[in-house]
Structure 1
Amino acid sequence: MKILLIADIHANYEALQTVLKVPHDRAICLGDIVDYGPDPDRCIDLLRMKEISVIRGNHDNAVAFKVDCQCGYKYKHLSIATREYTWGILDRDRIEYLQKLPLLIKEEIDGKRLYLTHASPRSMFEYIKPETPDEEIRNMINEAMEPVEAEFLIVGHSHIPMNRKLGNLAIINPGSVGQPRDGDIRTSCAVFDTENGKVEQLRLDYDIDSVCAKIKERMPHAEELIAILRRGY
């Protein structure tokens, strides 16, 4: 089975449409549908229509329960400002959808054991990045919400694509669909082949001009939000 892995959509509908065109048998979203972008409602509706499994991210959690997203200082003022915008867009049904999203998914497919969560096995707020020390990741695993009895740990949150090994554990991050932060402005996703355990990281062009035009027309801090999309961090 080929699983399309997506994460950190951040209300970027055009980017989401683009990644969902990648051939796949099933798609799983690792969270953060909302904040920063102009179309939180359309992104939620598309994921629901396609019956895509979604994990609750820290921004989904903040919008759903009106709590702190605990995101990095650099972008926090933008998340707060765009959250007010997001609340104005989403109706009660969509808010309840975010509230009901699970914090993790554990599955075995084709003999491969997968542990999927938004950020780290211990918390939806912690980052696992390419440079995160092995010992720090081991601590996250040892203190996980549920035991990490898997060969593949699949996360989002950092907005940075990653495929690294920690002993017998493969750690995969598909990067961000709607807010890449590795200097590449193209939308990011990955395809995980459960038959052979291989991961293909993909970068795709999308209609960034349309997204930026909507941000300029509708959103607070538009120039700063557009600049982030235009430079990829």
Structure 2
Amino acid sequence: MKMLVISDIHGNMKALETAMEIPHDEVICLGDLVDYGPSPKEVIDFMMENNIPVIRGNHDNAVATGIDCGCSYEIKHLSIATRDYTKDQLNDRQLDFLKNLPVKIEKKCRGGRVLFTHGSPRSFYEYIKPQTPDAEVQEMLEGVEADLLVVGHSHIPMTRNIGNITIVNPGSAGQPRDGIPRASCAVLDTDSMDFEVYRLEYDMDSVTDKIRERMPHCDELITILENAGVNKKEN
């Protein structure tokens, strides 16, 4: 079974459409459908209409509940500015969808047990990055019973092993932050547990045009998209 794993769409419908073109049998989204991008309504509607399982990200939670998203100081102003725009775009049904998203999904696959989360298994605010010390990650994994942990949140593709658990990250479809300005997603083979990351060209100009049109005071978002987040520390 080929499972398309997408994460951190952030209102970028064009990147989502491009990722969905990858051949797959099923899809799962690791969260953060909203904030930063010009098309949050379209992204949420797509998930609902196609019955795609979605995990609650910190930005989904912030939009739905008003609780702080936990962004770093360097980018918080953009998060706040785009959140006002996002909430103005959404109706009660879409907000309820975000509010009721689960914080994790567990699956028993032929290849082993898989746990899907947005951040770490204990909090969607916590990052597991390539450089996160093993000791810190081990604390985050306490009590986890899985062969494979699939996370998002950092916007950086990754594969690493901690003890008997393999941790993978598909990167961000809509807001990559690793200096490569192409949509990032992955396909998980649930039989072999192989995990392949894809980097996809998409019509970024149409997205930046929408940002200029709909979010005129957020030009910095265009720079982040075009440079894939260099100089921006956290999301």
TM-score past 0.5 threshold: yes
Amino acid across the alignment from 2:110? D
1:125-173 Cα offsets, whole Å, 9 max, x none, are: 011000001100011111xxxx411000110000000011112211010
Q: Distance in 1 between matches of 2:74 and 2:41?
A: 25
Amino acid across the alignment from 1:150? A
- Aligned 1:69-108 pairs, distance under 5 A: 69-108=69-108
Match of 2:193 among 191, 197, 217: 197
Q: Distance in 2 between matches of 1:62 and 1:109?
A: 32
User: Gapped runs of 5+ residues in structure 2?
Assistant: 230-235
Amino acid across the alignment from 2:150? I
| Deviation at residue 221 of structure 1 after TM alignment | 3.2
Q: Distance in 2 between matches of 1:30 and 1:148?
A: 18
Contact 1:82 1:220 in 2 (8 A): no
SS at match of 1:80: helix
Q: Distance in 2 between matches of 1:111 and 1:189?
A: 20
- What is the TM-score of this pair, normalised by structure 1? 0.97
- What is the TM-score of this pair, normalised by structure 2? 0.96
Q: Which runs of 4+ in 1 moved over 4 A?
A: none
Q: 1:220/1:125 Cα in 2 relative to 1: closer, same or farther (>3 Å)?
A: farther
Q: Distance in 1 between matches of 2:167 and 2:95?
A: 30
- Aligned 1:62-141 pairs, distance under 5 A: 62-141=62-141
Contact 2:78 2:218 in 1 (8 A): no
Percent identity, aligned pairs only, is: 56
User: Gapped runs of 5+ residues in structure 1?
Assistant: none
Q: How many residues align?
A: 229
SS at match of 2:175: coil
Contact 1:81 1:220 in 2 (8 A): no
